[in-house]
Amino acid sequence: MKTKRKGLWHELYANRILFLMLLPVLVYFLINNYAPMIGIYYAFVQFEFNTSMFNMNFVGLKNFEFLWKSGKLIELTVNTIGYNLAFIVLGNVLSISVAVLLSELKGKWFKKITQSVLFLPYFVSFVILSVIVFNLFNYEQGVLNTVLERLGAEPLDVYNKPALWIFFIIFFYLWKNFGYSMVIYLAAITGISEEYYEAARIDGANTFQRAWHITVPMLKSTFVILLLFSLGTIMKGQFDLFYQMVGNNGLLYSTTDILDTYVYRSLKVTFDMGMATAAGVYQSLFGFALIMVVNGIIRKVNKDYALF
């Protein structure tokens, strides 16, 4: 044990400049990410206004009760994970394929314009999006029903069809967000050496073969990193998206309710620091477990791609 300790000090001393450079980051994480974790204790106490956290009554898991009291916890967890998986899988497939397509394009102006057009929705706020969606789909004056009526078809009450909203939510998420990850992939593609393509061309590979056998494999590490990052937040749904699009409409909750919106609604009226923290702790623990499992699997398959 003594030698080990000595080793650590030695290590610190030998690389002191490097460790010094690491210090600001450590301090940043300590202050912003680790110190506030003390607040987790709120999840286990009965919150009171006029006393400090550690003087409050310890109540064990009572604050977590509301999560399963309505019998919705499983449905919520499934919805949250399901949507996020769809976002991650479809989002990556879409952005990789569009990035590959764009990189193969020759016309510079066309390429730039397409790229910008795809990126622009990223700046539209969900509040505005929800208004657009309402104007498209509302029963009395919506664009969809006006068109249907002109065509002599029956109007459709979209806001009363929960199954449709699985599709809408995913669609609008992709519409808004895929341009962003596409730019990252596009950057990664530009980094692939031209020599590979030249060699392939000499060997007689066509465009499709070049993309499939060179570009896609070269994007693998970027893909894995982006994947792991997004997995960490899988329990945190896109609150704005769901909250703005669905709002108060209970008819749609069976397919569109996620943990974030559920917690928000529950605590909008009953505000209790303890319960709010409990919900956050549940989300974080679940996310933590998930990222450990996925990272473990990736490590097994290929150690170089794992995060840690």
Partner 1 sequence: MPGKLKKSVGLLLSVVLLLSLITACSSKNNKPAESASSPQASNSPSAETSESPSSEPAGIDTSKKVELQFYMLGNAPKDLAKVEAEINKMALEDLNATVKFNFTTWTDWDQKYKLLLSTGQKVDLIFTAEWTQYQQYAKKKAFLPLDDLLPKAAPVLNQFVPQDMWEAVKIDGKIYTVPATYKEYVTGGFVWREDLRQKYDLPKPVDMATFEAYLEGIKKNEPNLQPVAIGADVAAALSDAHLDIARDIVGPMPYGVFAPYSNPSQMTNYWGSAEHLEDLKLYRSWAEKGYISKNELNVKDTNQDKIVNGTAAALLGDNPTRYNQTLNNMKSLHPDWELGYHPYGLTKGYATPVHPIHNGFAIPAHSDNAERALAFYEKMVTDKRYNHLTQYGFEGVNYEVDNGYYKLIGNADTNGFLRENMQGWAWRNPEFMLFEPSYDGVKAIFDELDKIQKPDIYTGFAEDYTEYQAERAALEQVEKQYLFPLLAGQVADVEKGLATFMDKAKQAGLEKVQQGYTKQWLAYLQESGIQ
Interactions with partner 1, residue window 60-119 (CB under 8 A): 62-63, 65-66, 69-72
The DSSP output letter for 13 is: H
How many other C-beta atoms are found inside a 10 Å radius of the C-beta of residue 142?
A: 20
Distances (CA, A) of 105 to 100, 138, 182, 192: 9, 39, 15, 16
Residue spans of alpha helices (H) in 142-272 = 143-150, 162-190, 194-202, 207-210, 216-218, 220-232, 239-246, 253-256, 259-269
Q: Which stretch binds partner 1 (CB under 8 A): 86-94, 96-104, 165-173, 183-191?
A: 183-191
State the minimum distance, in angstroms, from the CB of residue 274 to partner 1: 9
Q: Is 298 strand, coil or helix?
A: helix
CB atoms within 10 A of CB 101: 13
DSSP secondary-structure letter at 156? -
CB of 96 closer than 8 Å to CB of 104: no
- The minimum distance between CB 4 and partner 1, in angstroms, equals 32
Give the residue, chosen from 80, 92, 222, 238, that forms a contact with partner 1 under the rule CB under 8 A. 222
Among residues 148, 166, 272, 299, the one that binds partner 1 under rule CB under 8 A: 272
Nearest to partner 1 of 12, 22 (CB atom): 22
CA 267 to CA 287: how far, in whole Å? 21
The region of 94-102, 103-111, 252-260, 293-301 touching partner 1 under the rule CB under 8 A is: 252-260
The total number of residues shown for the chain amounts to: 308
Chosen residue from 40, 148, 166, 290 binding partner 1 by CB under 8 A: 40
CA-nearest of 246, 285, 273, 284 to 262 is 246
- Site for partner 1 contains 240 (CB under 8 A): no
Largest CA distance in the chain: 86
Near partner 1 by CB under 8 A: residue from 86, 90, 164, 184: 184
Tell which one of 111, 161, 265, 299 touches partner 1 (CB under 8 A). 265
Q: Judged by CB under 8 A, does residue 146 bind partner 1?
A: no
* Residue ranges in contact with partner 1 by CB under 8 A: 32-33, 36, 39-40, 42, 46-50, 62-63, 65-66, 69-72, 130-131, 134, 138-140, 157, 159-160, 183-184, 187-188, 190-191, 193-195, 222, 225, 229, 233, 247-251, 253-254, 257, 262, 265-273, 275-277, 280
